[in-house]
Structure 1
Amino acid sequence: MNDSPERISLAGRLRNNFLTGLIICAPLAITIWLTFTFIDWADSWVTPYIPQRYDPQYYFNITIPGTGLLIAMVCITIIGFLGKNLIGRTIVSFGESILQRMPLIRTIYRSVKQILETVLKEQSTSFKKCGLIEFPSPGMWALVFISGDAQGEIAAKLNAEGEEMVAVFMPPTPVPTAGFLMFVPKSKIIVLDMTPEEGAKLLISGGLIAPEYTSKTMTTPVLVPPLGQVSE
C-alpha cells in the first residue's frame, strides 16, 4: 500500500512528460508534413511540363523535392517583371480581351482576379485589423475581422444616413472558414491592437489562447493600502 502513491506519481510524471512531448512534436510534425505535401503537390503539377534538358533531376538521377515549385516561382516572377513594361502590358491586355469574349471563362477570370488583387494589393486594408462589435445583443461582444470601408452601391445607400459604414467579417468558433459579412457603423467598432493571426488563434481556441497585451496608455500605478490601514 505504501508504494501506491509512488506508482501514481510516476504514472502522472510519465503522462505529463508524454503530453509535453506531444505539444512540442505535434506542431512541428504537422508543419513539416504540410510543407512537404504542398511541395509535392506543386512538383506534380509543374515538373511534367519542364523540358528534360532543363530538369536538374535528369542530370543528378535523383528526385529533388521543390524543383517544380522553385521553377514555378521563378517563372511567375519573370512574368510579373515582363508584365510591368509596355510590351508585357500589351500582351496581358490582349490575352484578357480574349478571355472577356468567353461567356463562362470571363466570369471566373474576373472574379478570381478581383479577389487576388484585393488580397495581395499592398495598399489593401482587408483583414489587417481585428475589432469588437456588440452582437447578438447590447452588452455582448463578438470578435470580427475588419475588411475595409463599405464601397459601391452599399456605401452610397448606407452612408446616406450620415455615418460611415465598415465591412466586417464575423467567423464562428472554432472553424473560422464560414461566417457573416456585416456592415457596421465605424463608431460601433472597437478596434483591437492584436493581429489577425492572434485573433484567429483566440477564435479557434475558444478564448483559451489570448495574446499578451500591454496598455499603451499605462501610467504610474497608484498603490492602494490594504484594508485596515489608513494613511495618517
Structure 2
Amino acid sequence: MSAFRRWLLTGLLVIVPGVITAWVLHWIVSTLDQTLQILPGDWQPDKLLGIHIPGFGVLLTLIILLSVGALATNFAGRKLVEWGDRLVARIPVVRSIYSSVKQVSDTLFSESGNAFRTAVLVQWPREGVWTVAFVTGAPTGEVAAYLRDEFVSVYVPTTPNPTGGYFVMVRKSDCIELDMSIDAALKYIVSMGVVTPPDPIAVHDSRQ
C-alpha cells in the first residue's frame, strides 16, 4: 500500500502541472479566437481553409495590438488617442469607469509604470499574523494630510488567486522589506507557501 500511495502521488505531481498548464493555454487560445468574429464571414480562416485551426485568434490579436501600438506612438496617433479620451470624458458614468481602468492599465503596462514596487511582510489581518504584500506607492493629497506618520500603500493579495486582494495603508515602520523579487513573491503566494523563494544569502554565496 505504501508503494501504491507513493506511485499515485508521484503520478499526480507529474501530471497535474501539465494538465493545468494545457487547460490554461487552451482557455487563452479559445478566448482570443473569439476575436476572429470581427472579420467578415468570407475572411474567416475556418471558411477559407475548410478546417478549424486553433490559434488564428492569437495571431489576429497580436496584429491588432502591434498596429494600434504603432499608430499610437506617432504624432497623429497620439492626437487621436487624446481626442478619444476627451470624448469619453464627456460621457457620464462611462468616464468614471474608463478613467479608473485607464489609470490602472497605465500603471501596469506602461514602460515607466511600476505597479508592484517591493515585496514586504505586514501583519494582516490582525497583529501577530504575517503575510506577504506589495508596496504600490504612498498616500497623497487629502489622505496623506490625515495620516500623521509616514505610510505606504500596500496591496495584500489573496491565495491562490492573487488578482483579488485588499488595498490598505500601513505605517512604513510596520513593513519589513524583503529581498525576494516580485515574481518570487507571487509564486510564494500562488503556491500557498509550498514554493519557497530561494535564500538570498545562499544565492549571493553561489554567485561568488
Shorter-chain TM-score bucket reads 0.7 to 0.9
Q: Which residues of structure 2 form unaligned runs of 5+?
A: none
CA distance in 2, matches of 1:88, 1:218: 46
Post-superposition Cα deviations, 1:62-114, rounded to whole Å, max 9, x if no partner, equal 11211122112211211111111121122222222222221122122111111
Aligned residues: 204
Match in the other structure for 2:2: 12
Post-superposition Cα deviations, 1:176-198, rounded to whole Å, max 9, x if no partner, equal 45443222232332111223343
Shift in Å, 1:49:
1.4
**2:185 is the counterpart of 1:185:** no
Identity among equivalent positions (%) equals 33
Distance 1:190 1:68, change over 3 A: same
**2:103 is the counterpart of 1:117:** no
**What is the TM-score of this pair, normalised by structure 2?**
0.83
Q: Which residues of structure 1 form unaligned runs of 5+?
A: 1-10, 220-232
Match in the other structure for 2:184: 198
Match in the other structure for 1:226: none
SS in 2 for 1:83: helix
Distance 1:206 1:55, change over 3 A: closer
Match in the other structure for 1:167: 153
CA distance in 2, matches of 1:70, 1:172: 33
Check whether the contact 1:125–1:148 (CA below 8 A) recurs between aligned residues: no
Match in the other structure for 2:70: 81
**What is the TM-score of this pair, normalised by structure 1?**
0.75
Check whether the contact 1:128–1:195 (CA below 8 A) recurs between aligned residues: no
Match in the other structure for 1:22: 12
Shift in Å, 1:144:
1.7
Counterpart residue identity of residue 110, structure 1: S
Shift in Å, 1:200:
3.5
- Of structures 1 and 2, the larger Rg is shown by 1
**2:87 is the counterpart of 1:101:** no
Counterpart residue identity of residue 42, structure 1: L
Post-superposition Cα deviations, 1:147-169, rounded to whole Å, max 9, x if no partner, equal 122233323443xx4x5321112
SS in 1 for 2:93: helix
Match in the other structure for 2:116: 127
